[in-house]
A and B are shown apart, each in its own frame.
Chain A
Amino acid sequence: MMRILKYVALDILKNKIIIAYAIMLALFSWSAFGLEDNAAKGLLTVLNIILLTVPLMSVLFATIYVYNSSEFIELLLSHPIKRSKIWKALFTGLSLSMVAAYVFGAGIPLFIFAQWNIALMTITVGSLLSVIFVAIAFLSSIITRDKAKGIGTSIMLWLYFALLFDGLVLFLFFQFSDYPIEKAVVFLSALSPIDLSRILILLKLDVSAMLGYTGAVFKNSFGSDWGLVLSFTLLAFWALVPFYLSLRKFKSKDL
């Protein structure tokens, strides 16, 4: 597996898109911190940029990369190597590269401008988000053979998680505001990794105005520490479950 991983990682890191992504993140973060007079405001801007771009970039790049690796997978399969190893190596390679690009791009300015514990949290959450959306990309690219459909599915999923979800929760809240639905809303927020990430960072930041509805309820129900543990566990599930499902499907796929 290490040997395949080496070639996958080399191939991705040579890719100019990954480098451009890192540079773009760096530009956004440096300018956000530079333009705002206080670091907390800057951090909020950076956070919003990260929550939009990191998932989009991870899911799109990974989907396209998996489709373009079909030759690579085919070449390896006629040799004595386990299918699961090939898939895991691809996943690890892609995740590591996305995380590396993110840490180089956004991590450095975060450590310079923000408090170290908040910077650390933002970096961890961003890295987790990268891995989660690579896993989602793996799932949507194994579901269909058609590249256009696969990329379409990925974009739809991103749109849903990044933009539609919070709106949907808010809509439900207004519709059912006569009933005690706080617990249900907390449960709902677990259904979107982006929402979870936002809650996680804002719990640390203590800017309740920015928490969004799900975040506010989350904080009330769990307090900071429990909320932290619970949301990390949920995020880990968000990375593992899609990847596990895609792995199971890959093992029985005809090539």
Chain B
Amino acid sequence: MIEIKNITKNFGKLKALNGLNLELNKGECIALIGPNGCGKTTLIKSILGMVLPSSGEILFNGKSIKNDNDYRSQIGYMPQIGRYPENMTIGQVLDMIKGIRKSSEFLDHDLYEQFQIAKMLDKKMRTLSGGTTQKVSATLAFLFKPQVLILDEPTAGLDPIAAEILKAKIIEAKERGCLILITSHLLSELEDIVSQIIFMQEGNLILHKNAEELKATTGQQTIARSIVHLLKTETL
């Protein structure tokens, strides 16, 4: 569904992405992991067209995303730290995005109801706590039933109940056949969702493997341990 062909991104002297090649398919739930500053967010932003790669190309359903923006109607994105116009209320943000998406199909209001957004529609974005902002981001990401979900640290800042609700929603989307791309530092949280692992370091792709396979080859019980095991025993 998404093909990443040899993309490189330089920020001045810093190489944030270094000749990355990836193929992400429908129905996969991929954990994108790696140390801080390894290029995860840059990769996600490149897929979204927010960062323009220095070289290489990204194909979405076989079409290059360069100079295209319609493909984004099939993506739901939940940023790590949602940044919203401070003076707008939650209701206005939702209205505006709905208007832009022009989605005539009926929308997915599950998270809207479960997070009880309706009670807070008149609150200004700047008065919201980090967790509530994340709830709004999550609601927006799932609202339009996208084919692809890109979640950057989705559960960071959410209370345990909200995190469980979101997790259930992610599993539901996975069963529906969506492509889900998650970054998280808390691997234990992703344990039961994830089917593929992508490990990055300093802009390079170190590993792209099936989760079960990874556990089998390293002889470990969990994904977190397998990664640690790999890091300790060999240079990946």
A and B assemble together: yes
Task: State whether A76 touches B100 (Cβ < 8 A).
Answer: yes
- In-complex Cβ contact of B51 among A3, A75, A255 (8 A): A255
Is B77 an interface residue when CB atoms closer than 8 A count as contact?
yes
- In-complex Cβ contact of A71 among B84, B97, B99, B100 (8 A): B84
Is B204 an interface residue when CB atoms closer than 8 A count as contact?
no
- The answer for the CA separation of A138 and B86 in the assembled complex, in Å, is 21
Task: State whether B50 touches A71 (Cβ < 8 A).
Answer: no
Task: State whether B88 touches A7 (Cβ < 8 A).
Answer: yes
Number of A interface residues at 8 Å Cβ cutoff, please give it.
23
Is A175 an interface residue when CB atoms closer than 8 A count as contact?
no
Chain A minimum-CB-distance residue to B11: A254
Known: A7-B92, A78-B50. A14 touches B69 (CB 8 A): no
Task: State whether A252 touches B100 (Cβ < 8 A).
Answer: no
Chain B residues lying within 8 Å of A70, measured Cβ to Cβ, are 83
Is A180 an interface residue when CB atoms closer than 8 A count as contact?
no
- In-complex Cβ contact of B96 among A3, A71, A78, A83 (8 A): A3
- The answer for the CA separation of A81 and B98 in the assembled complex, in Å, is 12
Known: A71-B83, A74-B50. A80 touches B101 (CB 8 A): yes
Task: State whether B45 touches A255 (Cβ < 8 A).
Answer: yes
- The answer for the CA separation of A82 and B79 in the assembled complex, in Å, is 19
Please classify how large the interface on chain B is, using the bins under 10, 10 to 19, 20 to 34, 35 or more.
20 to 34
Task: State whether A254 touches B52 (Cβ < 8 A).
Answer: yes
Task: State whether A69 touches B85 (Cβ < 8 A).
Answer: yes
Is B75 an interface residue when CB atoms closer than 8 A count as contact?
yes
Closest beta carbon of chain A to B163's beta carbon, Å: 22
Task: State whether A79 touches B100 (Cβ < 8 A).
Answer: yes
- The answer for the CA separation of A76 and B82 in the assembled complex, in Å, is 12
Tell me which residues from 83 to 130 in chain B have a Cβ below 8 Å from any Cβ of chain A.
Answer: 83-88, 92-93, 96-97, 99-101
Task: State whether A78 touches B88 (Cβ < 8 A).
Answer: no
Chain B minimum-CB-distance residue to A74: B83
Task: State whether A79 touches B97 (Cβ < 8 A).
Answer: yes
- The answer for the CA separation of A77 and B48 in the assembled complex, in Å, is 8
Is A178 an interface residue when CB atoms closer than 8 A count as contact?
no
Chain A minimum-CB-distance residue to B102: A80
- In-complex Cβ contact of B100 among A68, A81, A255 (8 A): A81
Is A187 an interface residue when CB atoms closer than 8 A count as contact?
no
- The answer for the CA separation of A252 and B9 in the assembled complex, in Å, is 13
Is A11 an interface residue when CB atoms closer than 8 A count as contact?
yes
Chain B residues lying within 8 Å of A171, measured Cβ to Cβ, are none
Chain B minimum-CB-distance residue to A81: B100
Is B72 an interface residue when CB atoms closer than 8 A count as contact?
yes
User: A50-89 interface mask toward B, CB cutoff 8 Å, 1 = contact, 0 = none?
Assistant: 0000000000000000001111101111111111000000
Chain A residues lying within 8 Å of B75, measured Cβ to Cβ, are 78
Chain B residues lying within 8 Å of A7, measured Cβ to Cβ, are 88, 92, 96
Task: State whether A82 touches B83 (Cβ < 8 A).
Answer: no
Task: State whether B72 touches A80 (Cβ < 8 A).
Answer: yes
Chain A residues lying within 8 Å of B52, measured Cβ to Cβ, are 252, 254
Task: State whether B87 touches A4 (Cβ < 8 A).
Answer: no
Is B131 an interface residue when CB atoms closer than 8 A count as contact?
no
- The answer for the CA separation of A68 and B86 in the assembled complex, in Å, is 9
Chain B residues lying within 8 Å of A82, measured Cβ to Cβ, are 69
Tell me which residues from 218 to 255 in chain A have a Cβ below 8 Å from any Cβ of chain B.
Answer: 252, 254-255
Task: State whether B85 touches A255 (Cβ < 8 A).
Answer: no
Task: State whether A254 touches B85 (Cβ < 8 A).
Answer: no
Closest beta carbon of chain A to B98's beta carbon, Å: 10
Chain A residues lying within 8 Å of B73, measured Cβ to Cβ, are 79-80
Chain B residues lying within 8 Å of A79, measured Cβ to Cβ, are 72-73, 97, 100-101
Chosen A-B contacts, 8 in total, with CB atoms closer than 8 Å, are: A3-B99, A7-B92, A74-B50, A74-B79, A78-B50, A82-B69, A254-B45, A254-B52
Residues of chain B at the chain A interface (Cβ within 8 Å): 11, 45, 48-52, 69-73, 75, 77, 79, 82-88, 92-93, 96-97, 99-101
Q: Which 8 A-B pairs have the closest CB atoms?
A: A71-B83, A80-B73, A80-B72, A78-B77, A72-B85, A254-B51, A3-B99, A255-B50
